[in-house]
Structure 1
Amino acid sequence: MQDNKVYRAHVLVLPYPGQGHINPMLQFSKRLASKGLKVTFAITLFISKSFNVPQLSESVQIETISDGCDEGGFAEAESVHAYLKNMEASGSKTLAEIITKHRSSSNPIGCIVYDPFLYWALDVGKKFGLVGAPFFTQPCAVNYVYYLVHRGLLKLPLMETPVSIPGLPLLELQDMPSFIYVQEQYPAYFEMLLNQFSNSDKADFALVNTFYNLEPEVVDSMSKFFPLILTIGPTIPSFYLDNREENDKDYGLNLYKLDTSICTNWLNTKPERSVVYVSFGSLTCLSNEQMKEIAWGLKQSNFYFLWAIRASEESKLPEQFVEEIGDEGLLVKWSPQLEVLSNKALGCFFSHGGWNSTIEAMSLEVPMVVMPKWTDQPMNAKFVEDIWKVGIRVRVDEEDGVVKREEIENCIREVMEGERGREIRNNSKKWRDLAIESVNEGGTTDKNIDEFVSELMN
């Protein structure tokens, strides 16, 4: 149906087709819509056909592009490299078709906000004269390191540590993004991360899912090299921060089937601050030995725990573990993470340290125990423990590379009931207050979004 309402501007938003990329970009789209803009949110045909995709609102509408793997998505491609090439070829063509379709409407698209993993989207937008803005779903510190590597200002392999980078704390090798110190292990991903900046000189803005007070030094340092950086986070549903958006309690587009009542009903029977929530995201794959150490570490801690564990990982649990834990623990295949983190029974989040999980925990005042595995997680863990002081990073056994059950038990105990845990809880409250302040009217995030919208009107 033709939309005859005239909006202040029309923005096309293109996320990388993964849950951790879709969520923050969709939330930003809602924020733009609240400012009077129309948003077209582009998902892949595979996601559209495979999941129950809702109509979000009159102002945020879904359209589809092709990633060249319309029947099976990423699993259909023979490799990471093949998938990215397929998506560039098919995505460029179908993205142009969406822009063309709207050119003769009352609301032509004037701007493209794109995940920089899909850097080619900027080239498509510029052919149509659109304003272009990459949306970085990882923290500014991580983006800055990749940018310096791309520009040749940080030489690899790193020969000396600690590494000194303006705006960042001194970094040991294990504090760097994993692709920096194991480049050869994931060459296609590493190439994708560096390609984020291959045409960034053509962008009009750079949007980052963080808030200024969280990373002021690195934002200022990166601003010297990069187009206008706007911190527009934390991008979590309004209900959990400023509550300015009516009925905005979830992200709205979930690639996993959830029964939220299982988790919330169980949590509601537990005392305040008595439960450890455990989740390692949608991609982390752990060894059988590591899964066993986590399981027994949780049980030995003697705290209640809720563990979101994917079906592909369940077989790695120790025999009889489920029977032994009884009501002490609840295992689910997926969880409504925001509802879990905001529940009064939560005392700690045992996490892989992915950025969405980290910024959600900080925004909801939940202390963390962090076990980073790859990509941005090691640097996030460094900041969680040493800079923001909202959690503890587990230590890996140097002999076999496994985090032992005693280490897991001790870290959980320290956060839940130790002296250091009290300091962590105080810091967690401080960062939640600053997150709310940033998104409130007149806060840095709100001002940055207003600046972005204002520029689109010129």
Structure 2
Amino acid sequence: MEKKQQKHDVLVLPFPIQGHINPMLQFSKRLASKGLKVTFITTSKSMQPSATASSIHFHSIPFQEGEATTDIDEHIRLYESLIPTRLAQFIDKYQICSQHRAKVLVYDSGMPWALDVAKRFGLQGASFFTQCWAVNAVFYHLKLGTLRVPLEEEIRTNAVVSLPSMPELEISDLPSFVCDNSGSYPCLWNLIQSQFSNFQEADWACNTYDKLEHEIIKWMASRWPIKTIGPTIPSMYLDKRLKDDNDYGLHLFKPDTDLCIKWLNSKETSSVIYVSFGSIAGLTEEQMVELGMGLKSTNRNFLWVVRETEQKKLPSSFIEETSEKGLVVSWSPQLDVLGHGAVGCFMTHCGWNSTVEALSLGVPMIAMPQWTDQPTNAKLVADVWGVGIRVRKDGGGIIRKEEIARCVREVMEGETSLDFKRNSEKWKKLAKDAVDEGGTSDNNIHEFVAKITCN
């Protein structure tokens, strides 16, 4: 698409994990295609953009040597103590040295302090929500007091929760932090709650599309000016209007692309189970063994992404014993995998990016949520959108190999599998319609750009 003359600058600040970087980078590409100059701010010099992100300018304000940590809470504390000052220093210099002054800061909703930094320099603020609106609404109601933390008895009996314009939810369908009384990850919990601390002072954008969550979006939009701008996956998988946009363009992990695609090319149509639980979630060793034995028992082809740090949990000799049917890799080119005709289902943790990718590419799912927003996403996958099923845990909280095999049969065989496939194709078409010219997400992006350029 031909670009207009770039006159209005936008700064974009994601939270530095892959699931938050990807949607905000894709939104940035859409803004750049409509004539805006976009600078994407990273906090790691090791993240090198690919050619597919050439329309975006990149700037790094990384942690200094020795500041990195693997502890989630400590990472968040460190990030929030250092990055606001460094962001302010960058914006100050940018406004002095850049040919055009920045007008807007688009920031991850979990960093509401970024709005205060933006205001110091006269910038508009736009809060970007990387989770679906159903999850956002749960956290909003919790903050508002119209939803309270469940009591122990309610958790034990899996009581039902009713919220405006939402499907009926059981306690087990709520985001995990809502029911976590152990105090785990207090900084992460505070980050999630803080999303709504000043949200009324900024524009909102969210990685979803109107038809997917119509009722809850309508309810939220009646109160605040929210905008859906998703699904934010590379254009070549949807509307194909952004030339050569076939990859996110910024990766924390290097995928085994050639190995995965060559292996998939050797498999029959819809014969492969693709298994991936994202960049953060980790399974216990017992669960890894049950999952591996379950996949093996199906006698089907499977492509399983197991991060290097997790591979020690695999059953002994598992890779060698399943080499005729299975391929285990440390990271995959997920969009290419989901878009490959050999893939018949996606066993997923139901992180929102993975869920949106599967919906956009028409792949039925086996939902195996772990924590945070994933239980709610899994509920939607199975009971609202009808594109898959959710695994059942035993009394000890483990998904047994027999349950893995049952879910694979239900999603890949018989009449039920046809229903899942038909529904998946429906949501795939609606995803494309949303971002295509004149679609709801496309129109919302146009409106966002117009608001910037008219001032």
- Matched residues in 1 for 2:48 and 2:57: separation? 14
Residue in 2 that maps onto 1:136 = 129
User: For 1:124, which of 114, 117, 121 is the aligned residue?
Assistant: 117
Matched-pair contact (CA < 8 Å) for 1:276–1:304: yes
Q: What's the CA shift for 1:284?
A: 1.1
Give the partner amino acid of 2:411. Answer: V
Q: What's the CA shift for 1:311?
A: 1.1
User: For 1:212, which of 192, 200, 210 is the aligned residue?
Assistant: 210
Q: Deviations over 1:256-308 (max 9, x none)?
A: 12231000000000000000000011111111110011001101111100001
SS at match of 1:383: helix
Give the partner amino acid of 2:139. Answer: Y
- Matched residues in 2 for 1:190 and 1:268: separation? 43
Equivalent runs, 1:246-325 vs 2, <5 Å: 246-325=243-322
Give the partner amino acid of 1:94. Answer: R
Residue in 1 that maps onto 2:385 = 388
Q: Deviations over 1:369-401 (max 9, x none)?
A: 010010000000000000000011000002x11
Give the partner amino acid of 1:37. Answer: L
Matched-pair contact (CA < 8 Å) for 1:9–1:110: yes
Equivalent runs, 1:22-101 vs 2, <5 Å: 22-44=21-43, 47-48=44-45, 50-54=46-50, 59-66=55-62, 68=63, 70-71=65-66, 73-75=68-70, 79-101=71-93
Give the partner amino acid of 2:93. Answer: K
Give the partner amino acid of 1:276. Answer: I
Q: Deviations over 1:298-323 (max 9, x none)?
A: 01111100001011111111112112
Matched-pair contact (CA < 8 Å) for 1:37–1:59: no
Residue in 2 that maps onto 1:327 = 324
Residue in 2 that maps onto 1:147 = 140
Matched-pair contact (CA < 8 Å) for 1:263–1:340: yes
TM value normalised by structure 1:
0.94
Which has the higher mean CA deviation after the structures are superposed, 412-421 or 268-277? Answer: 412-421
Which has the higher mean CA deviation after the structures are superposed, 258-267 or 91-100? Answer: 91-100
* Residues 1:200 and 2:199 are matched in the alignment: yes
SS at match of 2:362: coil
* Residues 1:418 and 2:414 are matched in the alignment: yes
Give the partner amino acid of 1:427. Answer: N
Matched-pair contact (CA < 8 Å) for 1:55–1:61: no
Q: What's the CA shift for 1:32?
A: 0.4
Q: What's the CA shift for 1:72?
A: 5.1
Residue in 1 that maps onto 2:427 = 431
Residue in 2 that maps onto 1:168 = 166
Q: What's the CA shift for 1:80?
A: 3.6
Q: Deviations over 1:231-260 (max 9, x none)?
A: 000000001001111111100001112231
- Matched residues in 1 for 2:438 and 2:66: separation? 45
Residue in 2 that maps onto 1:115 = 108
Q: What's the CA shift for 1:64?
A: 1.6
Residue in 2 that maps onto 1:235 = 232
SS at match of 1:229: coil
Matched-pair contact (CA < 8 Å) for 1:69–1:86: no
Which has the higher mean CA deviation after the structures are superposed, 420-429 or 6-15? Answer: 6-15
* Residues 1:406 and 2:402 are matched in the alignment: yes
SS at match of 1:267: helix
- Matched residues in 1 for 2:76 and 2:197: separation? 15
User: For 1:336, which of 329, 333, 345 is the aligned residue?
Assistant: 333
Q: What's the CA shift for 1:201?
A: 2.1
SS at match of 2:42: strand
- Matched residues in 2 for 1:27 and 1:267: separation? 26
Residue in 1 that maps onto 2:364 = 367
Q: What's the CA shift for 1:59?
A: 4.1
SS at match of 1:413: helix
Matched-pair contact (CA < 8 Å) for 2:256–2:329: no
- Matched residues in 2 for 1:6 and 1:106: separation? 13
- Matched residues in 1 for 2:320 and 2:300: separation? 17
Q: What's the CA shift for 1:407?
A: 0.6
Q: Deviations over 1:383-436 (max 9, x none)?
A: 0000000011000002x1100101110101111112211100000000000000
Matched-pair contact (CA < 8 Å) for 1:30–1:60: yes
Q: What's the CA shift for 1:86?
A: 2.4
RMSD after superposition: 1.6
Matched-pair contact (CA < 8 Å) for 1:6–1:106: no
- Matched residues in 2 for 1:390 and 1:30: separation? 29
Q: What's the CA shift for 1:178?
A: 0.5
Q: What's the CA shift for 1:92?
A: 1.2
Q: What's the CA shift for 1:54?
A: 4.5
Give the partner amino acid of 2:101. Answer: P
Gap runs ≥5 in structure 1: none
- Matched residues in 1 for 2:52 and 2:367: separation? 34
Matched-pair contact (CA < 8 Å) for 1:179–1:186: no
SS at match of 1:220: helix
- Matched residues in 1 for 2:336 and 2:269: separation? 15
Q: Deviations over 1:78-131 (max 9, x none)?
A: x54443232223211121122222223331110010001211111100111211
Larger RCO (alpha carbons 8 Å, 6+ apart)? 2
Matched-pair contact (CA < 8 Å) for 2:347–2:367: yes
SS at match of 1:326: coil
SS at match of 2:322: helix
Q: What's the CA shift for 1:7?
A: 1.6
Q: What's the CA shift for 1:56?
A: 6.1
- Matched residues in 2 for 1:334 and 1:252: separation? 15
User: For 1:182, which of 180, 189, 192 is the aligned residue?
Assistant: 180
Paired residues, what number? Answer: 444
